[in-house]
């Protein structure tokens, strides 16, 4: 039996049916030839392979996967947010990045989330029009396709339009995410109509359709990216920010976004961060993401140790301490490079890493550490600013990362987000997508590099990474998870290169996230384990109340010496990922 419920015009149609049988079992690890993809979503991975099979390249397939993730995983990503794309161009043998991070509206100021001289409650700040930054995703897709792709936006959006129109089966993970956000979603009528049934999370097994998002994608396919940044859709975004679609009796902070904010939005093509580690070339995202710099600094610190000869507990102790130091420096210096002169060259220098390494005790964990003076390691030491000890700010944990390669050897490592689970909680009425809450990624306690300013991009921790060896692709890695992205990527690289784990084991290993705090974040079940006890002998302490969820949901591709590729997704986290290759060996 199928039952349908009709809400307001243009609202979601829910069909309650038994889940259809899967076309194939979920495949978190897959090896073969040709193109490859690893995402947290079966539908998104299938969309990427479909585009590759039609002759598209990795960039085309990446946008197709991203658009599909906006349907199937709308609480962590979508066109209402922004992100960072790292691209390896095989023909040119070079790496480029596309920064389409959200920007602060022109009217934004540090006082937006202050009341009586103090920051307001974080959850109150999130669920508001005031938390919404100018979305950059659509402009980023346009720039990537226009410069490096082979297909049109209309062609690559087709798989996602099909999923949004026909629907997909709600998983237990999807249901849990909605249930956790019921209070936020109930405040906004457009969001309730889309993701709640009688005020509660849509049940697992529901076939969920999003005709409004399908319509939006069709409009973008027909008219291009400008349809998002001007005209009726832009007006709808501005209206949703400035006059959120509130349920009766609800009040939230409103935003102050204008059509000019949207029309003036630009993506940035930036040079990647490049560093070396034990013969590998590590390429990451530059500012305004701190991810590439922090990962590189921590690896530079670790390079001074012979980790391969050490027991695992000693390696993990040193990994945690290197991460602690890198976070102290990241918090002190890094922000949007168009607003702040950060000592990036100093932070990436091997000499600075050696100085920071000298502070690590091989037998004992440190407490909170001070930032180093990276300006001393700059070629230009004329910067007057010196670091202020940065506070550890709350950062949204909920992003998505995936990776795609094609038969020509092009690679895309892509992390994009709407910030917290469900972003601001506001679905743009009639258009079917959630708006971000990226403005809460600024530091409102100032003075600090990452204070809010008009037009500024908030600092990110996203760390999409591509690694080469001897001039050829070796592997790519990335993860969601707010500030834990940096530690997840760093730990996976150490597990793979230093501990010699196959990539699936490197990703599956228990995650430890030290971000210059007295305690280290760990996943459920880690405390009390033999691994935990071995690290406690060094003085490491675990969060008293660890979150009841995993850290990150990483995806990777390994380029094997025999010419095959191995796509790797999560074996157990986030409902198990899907890794696909174009051709599997028989």
**Which one is catalytic: 103, 191, 399, 484?**
399
Catalytic: 566?
A: no
DSSP assigned state of 128: S
Provide the greatest CA pair distance for the chain: 73
Q: Enumerate residues 6+ apart whose C-beta is below 8 A from 384.
A: none
Kindly state the tokens that stand for 163. 């999923």
Kindly state the tokens that stand for 467. 């690694």
Kindly state the tokens that stand for 441. 């990624």
Residue carrying the six token digits 């792709």? 149
Could you tell me if 488 and 512 are in contact, meaning their C-beta atoms sit under 8 angstroms apart?
Answer: no
What sign does the dihedral 69-70-71-73 (CA atoms) show? positive
Kindly state the tokens that stand for 47. 């969309």
Residue whose C-alpha is closest to residue 305's, from 497, 74, 34, 73? 497
H-state helical runs in 254-349: 259-263, 291-302, 312-333, 344-348
C-alpha distances (whole Å) from 482 to each of 267, 290, 493 are 21, 11, 18
Kindly state the tokens that stand for 339. 């607003």
Residue whose C-alpha is closest to residue 42's, from 25, 67, 17, 63? 25
Torsion of CA 331, 337, 339, 340, to 10 degrees: 50
Which of helix, strand or coil describes residue 317? Answer: helix
Kindly state the tokens that stand for 423. 């972003």
List active site positions.
399
């Amino acid at each position: 039996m199928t039952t349908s419920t009709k809400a307001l015009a243009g609202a979601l149609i829910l069909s309650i049916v038994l889940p259809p049988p899967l076309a194939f079992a979920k495949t978190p690890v897959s090896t073969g030839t040709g193109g490859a993809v690893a995402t947290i979503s079966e539908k998104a991975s299938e969309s990427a392979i479909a585009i590759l099979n039609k002759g598209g390249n990795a960039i085309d397939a990446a946008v197709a996967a991203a658009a599909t993730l906006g349907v199937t995983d709308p609480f962590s990503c979508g066109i209402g947010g922004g992100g960072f794309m790292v691209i390896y161009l095989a023909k040119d043998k070079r790496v480029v990045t596309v920064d389409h991070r959200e920007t602060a509206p022109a009217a934004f100021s540090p006082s937006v989330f202050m009341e009586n001289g103090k920051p307001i409650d974080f959850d109150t700040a999130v669920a508001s029009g005031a938390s919404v930054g100018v979305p950059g995703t659509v402009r980023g897709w346009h720039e990537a396709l226009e410069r490096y792709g082979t297909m049109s936006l209309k062609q690559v959006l087709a798989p996602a339009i099909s999923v949004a129109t026909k629907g997909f089966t709600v998983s237990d993970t999807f249901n849990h995410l909605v249930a956790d956000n019921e209070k936020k979603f109930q405040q906004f009528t457009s969001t309730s109509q889309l993701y709640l049934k009688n005020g509660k999370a849509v049940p697992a097994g529901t076939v969920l359709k999003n005709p409004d998002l399908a319509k939006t994608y069709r409009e973008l396919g027909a008219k291009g990216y400008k349809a998002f940044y001007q005209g009726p859709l832009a007006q709808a975004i501005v209206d949703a920010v400035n006059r959120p679609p509130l349920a009766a009796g609800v009040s939230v902070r409103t935003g102050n976004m204008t059509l000019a904010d949207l029309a003036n939005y630009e993506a940035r093509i930036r040079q990647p961060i490049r560093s070396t580690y034990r013969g590998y070339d590590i390429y990451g995202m530059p500012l305004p993401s701190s991810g590439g710099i922090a990962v590189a600094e921590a690896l530079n610190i670790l390079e001074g140790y012979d980790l391969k000869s050490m027991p695992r507990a000693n390696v993990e102790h040193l990994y945690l301490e290197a991460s602690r130091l890198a976070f102290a420096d990241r918090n002190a210096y890094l922000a949007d490079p168009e607003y702040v002169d950060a000592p990036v060259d100093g932070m990436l220098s091997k000499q600075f890493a050696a100085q920071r390494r000298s502070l690590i005790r091989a037998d004992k964990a440190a407490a909170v550490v001070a930032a180093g003076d990276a300006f001393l390691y700059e070629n230009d030491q004329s910067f007057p600013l010196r670091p202020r000890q940065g506070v550890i700010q709350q950062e949204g944990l909920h992003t998505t990362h995936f990776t795609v390669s094609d038969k020509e050897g092009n690679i895309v490592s892509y992390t994009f987000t709407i910030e917290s689970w469900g972003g601001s909680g506001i679905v743009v009425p009639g258009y079917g997508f959630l708006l971000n809450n990226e403005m809460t990624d600024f530091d409102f306690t100032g003075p600090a590099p990452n204070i809010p300013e008009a037009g500024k991009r908030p600092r990110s921790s996203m760390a999409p990474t591509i690694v080469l060896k001897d001039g050829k692709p070796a592997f790519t890695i990335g993860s969601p998870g707010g500030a834990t992205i940096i530690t997840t990527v760093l730990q996976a690289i150490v597990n793979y290169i230093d501990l010699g784990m196959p990539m699936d084991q490197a990703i599956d290993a228990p995650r430890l996230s030290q971000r210059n705090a007295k305690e280290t974040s760990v996943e459920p079940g880690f405390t009390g384990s033999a691994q935990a006890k071995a690290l406690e002998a060094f003085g490491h302490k675990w969060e008293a109340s660890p979150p009841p969820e995993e850290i990150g949901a990483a995806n990777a591709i390994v380029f094997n010496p025999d010419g095959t590729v191995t796509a790797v997704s999560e074996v157990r986290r986030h409902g198990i990922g899907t890794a696909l290759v174009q051709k599997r060996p028989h």
